[in-house]
């Protein structure tokens, strides 16, 4: 039994974000933001007005200082104070309106992006999902999308708003006093240079942090799913150590981000503050000389102070943009992966072998049923140069016939069965159902024709009935449900607290391995499929239940064309014929008794006796074998 690895294998890392453009990455969000653009632009416009209202305040101050204050006009001072109050209230109200405008549409954008990601992941080829750590997918659907919503709600608007505010403020300052304005503007050049260096560094750190969140999610998910193994093997310490390591690594990256942010923040705060100090000195000298009115200096400094927040915020707004750009890239890494259909459209065209095409065209009786013709297959991530796992499988299962597939562990039985519903694509050769190449059929039609029960019976967090009826075409009702449960000998469901309405799966009642297997079997037979693929469907059952399921299954098998992976003679006897998979090919076909007599390897597999041709790993080709059953 495998023990959990001390630390998860590193996920596929895309290229480092060198030379990438944050703007280009973020622009990819536009199609998703388009539907809410009116509200978003309105909100930005409202925020710009609010921000500019704030800039009027210094002008009222100037009027107040040079007018009523200088003239000792108390009524005028009260009026000025009232103006200031009204301006402040207006600014606050406008910012409130902005928030109200964006909240709902942005929640919708986030929900749409998430739905799109989910729908896409459902349609991705199994091979893609095999390669990706689940935590990396999870973190994209959660943390990254949250970052994107935050970006649309806040930095996107405020970069624009603060940019406009700074420009307007600078113009106002230059108009008030050109020399003082230039003194204020002096730090702009080093600030821009510094920001661009910061941006690149921060982008790298942000990408790293987000990938590390994905790794961390993977470890959490694996430990929760594998909690029995973690506890059973006393691996909680090593698992916790692995978690601590990853979380320390993430902490390090987050601290690096914080340090970068602190540096840019320090520069962004210090430079303008120095400029304000310099302006104060120069301005005070000018006021003393009588070349500048005190009101103008007050207004000038108030404007400069009003611009402090827009300028200071630029640092973390840029940081948030970088994080959002990284999140967008990570999001589209999944969304850009071709779905099963896209891959089929742009990929391999099925290679007809050995004149089978003409047989298919004539649709002679021999072409009906389920047929494997010269099927070759190797996993895309198999080591280069290794022989194909399936190396020319030829097998014909006649309509209504059931064939048991027998082979050593690791010989490729599960792989062969996965090729029929096109969970993996054959590398060469073809598979036909009633003479039709499966690659020429729409996937939906194919999967409606073929029902499968896999080795690992997976149940979803839903009721027993929903789990079973999932195997039907949507029209199956209670009668079909009960028939399927009877075939699978799953009468135990009637003793569950709410019968077939009982919630099972991860968020429901835990069932035993054999109970789950029987529900998975019921799911496979509920739709009365034309073709039935069962991967070792009875392995977890006791002999009595197995015998009962077999008796009931015989009736179902009489009406379907079935391929049943079997390890035990009792399961093999369900089938009309047996095919032995060895060395990537069908080495022998016959009845159980024929093969027992004529094939030494088969006899060994069925009886446990040693076989002269066996390799130490039991697979005959040096691949790592699973533990013996
Ligand atoms: N997704 C995958 N990517 C790469 N290699 C895989 C993948 N799945 C299985 N394999 C390899 O393919 C070989 C055959 O696996 P398969 O599951 O088809 O065997 P099997 O005959 O069903 O074995 P068992 O009787 O133990 O169920 C194994 O060596 C396995 O390591
Ligand atoms: Mg298997």
pLDDT in tens, 249-296: 999 999 999 999 898 888 888 888 888 888 889 889 988 988 888 888
Confirm or reject: Cβ of 125 under 6 Å from ligand 1: no
| In the chain, ranges of CATH 1.20.1560.10 domains | 36-337
Q: How many angstroms does the Cα of residue 535 sit away from the middle of ligand 1?
A: 12
pLDDT at 375 over 90: yes
User: Which pLDDT does position 620 carry in this prediction?
Assistant: 39
pLDDT at 3 over 50: no
Please tell me the least confidently modeled range out of 91-100, 171-180, 352-361, 459-468: 352-361
**Using CA positions, which residue lies closest to atom 11 of ligand 1?**
410
User: Which pLDDT does position 64 carry in this prediction?
Assistant: 84
Is 376 in contact with 427 (CB distance < 8 Å)? yes
Query: Is this prediction's pTM over 0.85?
Result: no
- Residue whose entry in the numeric block shows the structure tokens 């630390």: 7
User: Which pLDDT does position 328 carry in this prediction?
Assistant: 93
Q: Whole-angstrom Cα distance, residue 151 to residue 160?
A: 12
Confirm or reject: Cβ of 582 under 6 Å from ligand 1: no
What token pair was written down for 310? 């827009």
User: Which pLDDT does position 437 carry in this prediction?
Assistant: 93
Q: In terms of C-beta density within 10 A (0-12 exposed, 13-18 middle, 19 or more buried), how is residue 186 classed?
A: middle
When pLDDT is averaged across residues 205-231 and rounded to a whole number, the result is: 87
3 state SS of 198: helix
pLDDT at 618 over 70: no
Q: How many angstroms does the Cα of residue 533 sit away from the middle of ligand 2?
A: 12
What token pair was written down for 431? 């598979």
Is 471 in contact with 526 (CB distance < 8 Å)? yes
Confirm or reject: Cβ of 407 under 6 Å from ligand 1: yes
First to last CA, the chain: 11
Confirm or reject: Cβ of 15 under 6 Å from ligand 1: no
In sequence order, what DSSP letters do the residues of 221-281 get, joined into one string?
HHHHHTHHHHHHTT-HHHHHHHHHHHHHHHHHHHHHHHHHHHHHHHHHHHHHHHHHHHHHH
Reported as a pLDDT band with limits 50, 70 and 90, residue 376 is: very high
Starting from the CA of residue 416, give the closest ligand.
Answer: 1
Is 257 in contact with 209 (CB distance < 8 Å)? yes
List of E strands, 105-255: none
When pLDDT is averaged across residues 308-325 and rounded to a whole number, the result is: 85
What token pair was written down for 342? 């896209």
3 state SS of 573: coil
**Using CA positions, which residue lies closest to atom 4 of ligand 1?**
379
Please state, rounded to an integer, the average pLDDT across all residues of the chain. 83
Confirm or reject: Cβ of 627 under 6 Å from ligand 1: no
What token pair was written down for 402? 């059931």
Highest average pLDDT, of 138-142, 351-355, 553-557, comes from 138-142
| In the chain, ranges of CATH 3.40.50.300 domains | 364-607
Degrees (nearest 5) of the Cα angle 500, 503, 507? 165
Starting from the CA of residue 382, give the closest ligand.
Answer: 1
Q: How many angstroms does the Cα of residue 414 sit away from the middle of ligand 1?
A: 7
pLDDT at 623 over 80: no
In sequence order, what DSSP letters do the residues of 335-385 get, joined into one string?
HTS--HHHHHHHSPPP---TTHHHHHHHT-GGGSSEEEEEEEE--TTSPTT
Q: Domain 36-337: give its CATH architecture.
A: Up-down Bundle (1.20)
Reported as a pLDDT band with limits 50, 70 and 90, residue 367 is: low
Q: How many angstroms does the Cα of residue 535 sit away from the middle of ligand 2?
A: 7
Query: Domain 364-607 carries which CATH code?
Result: 3.40.50.300
Q: How many angstroms does the Cα of residue 423 sit away from the middle of ligand 2?
A: 14
**Using CA positions, which residue lies closest to atom 5 of ligand 1?**
379
- Residue whose entry in the numeric block shows the structure tokens 């533990």: 627
**Using CA positions, which residue lies closest to atom 29 of ligand 1?**
410
């Amino acid at each position: 039994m495998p023990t959990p690895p001390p630390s998860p294998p590193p996920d596929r890392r895309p290229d480092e974000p060198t030379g990438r453009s944050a703007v280009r990455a973020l622009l990819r969000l536009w199609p998703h933001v388009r539907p809410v653009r009116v509200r978003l632009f309105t909100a930005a416009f409202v925020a710009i007005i609010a921000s500019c209202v704030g800039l009027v305040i210094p002008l009222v101050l100037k009027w107040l200082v040079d007018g009523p204050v200088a003239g000792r006009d108390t009524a005028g001072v009260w009026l000025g104070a009232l103006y200031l109050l009204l301006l402040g209230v207006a600014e606050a109200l406008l910012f409130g309106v902005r928030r109200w405008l964006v909240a709902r549409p942005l929640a919708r954008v986030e929900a749409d992006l998430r739905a799109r990601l989910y729908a896409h992941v459902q349609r991705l080829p199994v091979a893609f999902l095999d390669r990706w750590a689940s935590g990396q997918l999870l973190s994209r659907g959660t943390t990254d999308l949250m970052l994107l919503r935050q970006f649309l709600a806040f930095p996107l608007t405020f970069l624009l708003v603060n940019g406009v505010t700074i420009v307007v403020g600078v113009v106002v300052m230059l108009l008030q006093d050109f020399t003082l304005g230039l003194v204020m503007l002096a730090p702009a050049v080093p600030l821009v240079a510094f920001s661009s260096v910061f941006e690149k560094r921060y982008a790298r750190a942000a990408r790293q942090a987000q990938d590390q969140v994905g790794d961390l999610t993977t470890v959490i998910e694996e430990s929760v799913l594998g909690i029995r193994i973690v506890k059973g093997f006393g691996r909680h310490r090593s698992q916790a150590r692995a978690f601590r390591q990853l979380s320390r690594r993430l902490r390090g990256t987050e601290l690096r981000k914080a340090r970068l942010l602190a540096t840019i923040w320090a520069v962004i705060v210090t430079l303008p503050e120095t400029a304000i100090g310099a302006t104060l000195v120069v301005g005070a000298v000018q006021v003393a000389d009588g070349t500048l009115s005190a009101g103008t200096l007050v207004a000038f400094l108030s404007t400069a102070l009003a611009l402090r927040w827009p300028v200071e915020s630029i640092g973390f707004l840029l940081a948030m943009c970088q994080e959002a750009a990284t999140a967008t890239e990570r999001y589209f890494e999944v969304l850009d992966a071709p779905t099963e259909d896209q891959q089929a459209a742009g990929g391999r065209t099925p290679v007809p072998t050995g004149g089978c095409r003409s047989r298919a065209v004539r649709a002679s009786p021999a072409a009906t049923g389920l047929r494997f013709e010269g099927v070759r297959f190797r996993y895309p991530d198999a080591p280069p140069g290794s022989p194909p796992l399936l190396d020319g499988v030829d097998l014909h299962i006649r309509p209504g016939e059931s064939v048991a597939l027998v082979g050593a562990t690791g010989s490729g039985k599960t792989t062969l069965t996965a090729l029929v519903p096109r969970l993996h694509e054959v590398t060469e050769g073809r598979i036909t159902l009633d003479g039709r190449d499966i690659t020429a059929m729409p996937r939906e039609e194919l999967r409606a024709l073929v029902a499968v029960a896999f080795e690992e019976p997976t149940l979803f967090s839903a009721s027993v009935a929903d789990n079973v009826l999932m195997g039907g075409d949507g029209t199956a009702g209670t009668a079909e449900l009960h028939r399927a449960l009877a075939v699978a000998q799953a009468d135990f469901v009637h003793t569950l607290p709410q019968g077939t309405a009982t919630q099972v799966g991860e968020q429901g009642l835990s069932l035993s391995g054999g109970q789950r297997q029987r529900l998975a079997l019921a799911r496979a037979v509920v739709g009365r499929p034309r073709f039935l693929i069962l991967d070792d469907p009875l392995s977890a059952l006791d002999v009595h239940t197995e015998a009962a399921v077999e008796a009931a299954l015989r009736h179902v098998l009489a009406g379907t064309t079935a391929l049943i992976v079997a390890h035990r003679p009792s399961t093999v006897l369900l089938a009309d014929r047996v095919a032995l998979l060895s060395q990537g090919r069908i080495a022998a076909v016959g009845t159980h008794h024929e093969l027992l007599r004529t094939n030494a390897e088969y006899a060994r597999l069925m009886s446990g006796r040693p076989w002269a041709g066996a390799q130490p790993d039991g697979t005959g080709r040096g691949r790592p074998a699973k533990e013996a059953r």
